[in-house]
Amino acid sequence: MTDPVRHVVAMGGGQWYDDPVFRFLFELADVPRPRVLRIPTATGDADRDVIAFYRAFPAHSFQASDLPLFERTVQDLRSLVLGQDVVLVAGGNTANMLAVWRVHGLDTILREAWEAGVVMAGGSAGGLCWFEAGTTDSFLLGHADPLHDGLGLVPGSFCPHYDSEPARRPGYHRLVGEGILPAGLACDDLAAVHLEGRDVERAIASAVGAGAYRVGPGDHGVVEEPITVQRLEPVG
């Protein structure tokens, strides 16, 4: 028996539920009506996020559920999470989200689900959380501060919002160049990297010009290497 393929789709940000990137997630699940769990912890379990999630797709296209932790109603988190095909994590405050997950033991459950083949995905905080480290504005809005305690499913670091937030690209270059963050990946809004196991399988985007990059130290400063991006067609 072969081990399940382990998927992470880390989005730079800016996607909403009509974005073709989300259709790509459903295709990875490879089942007729994938079970998709929305985890909105990074937004403080904001109602607007959860409502938009349920309204986004025709009811027949997937089986939706959500997991609130601030007013938790689910006793058996492990059964809920491992019963999914896709876990979709909201953007928001990454540091707060990780702290809440760890209090509830969700961090170890998500790792187990990833190892079992559940597709792990999200944008912004929902993209960064799967890596060892990355840049975040969790501590001060408008900044690109280092975060060192991601879940570590994927080695290295991740920088979301690479093109849309002025502090991100120069901040990431500085942090990687000074050795504060390990080398890693960066994504513009409306772009994502798909990793199988711990390796980049492809980069995808739903907008012309949205890019993904490898960023690491070089002999003469930081090296930024574009990754070839597959443009996804709009959802018809």
| Residue 124 annotated as catalytic | yes
The sign of the torsion formed by the CA atoms of 62, 29, 190, 87 equals positive
Tokens 């501060």 found at: 145
Catalytic annotation, pick one of 138, 157, 161, 194: 161
Catalytic annotation, pick one of 7, 124, 157, 194: 124
**Phi, psi angle pair for 187, to nearest 5°:** -135, 135
Start-to-end C-alpha separation, the chain: 38
CA dihedral 231, 232, 234, 236 (to 10 degrees): 140
Amino acid at position 31, single letter: V
The 3-state secondary structure of 122-150, one letter per residue: EECHHHHCCEEEEEECCCCCCCCEEECCC
Q: Which residues contact 48 (CB under 8 A, 6 or more apart)?
A: none
Would you state the structure tokens that stand for residue 161, as one six-digit string?
């919002």
Of 187, 63, 207, whose CA–CA distance to 128 is shortest? Answer: 187
Q: How far apart are CA 112 and CA 78, in angstroms?
A: 9
Would you state the structure tokens that stand for residue 24, as one six-digit string?
């790509």
| Residue 194 annotated as catalytic | no
Positions marked catalytic: 124, 161
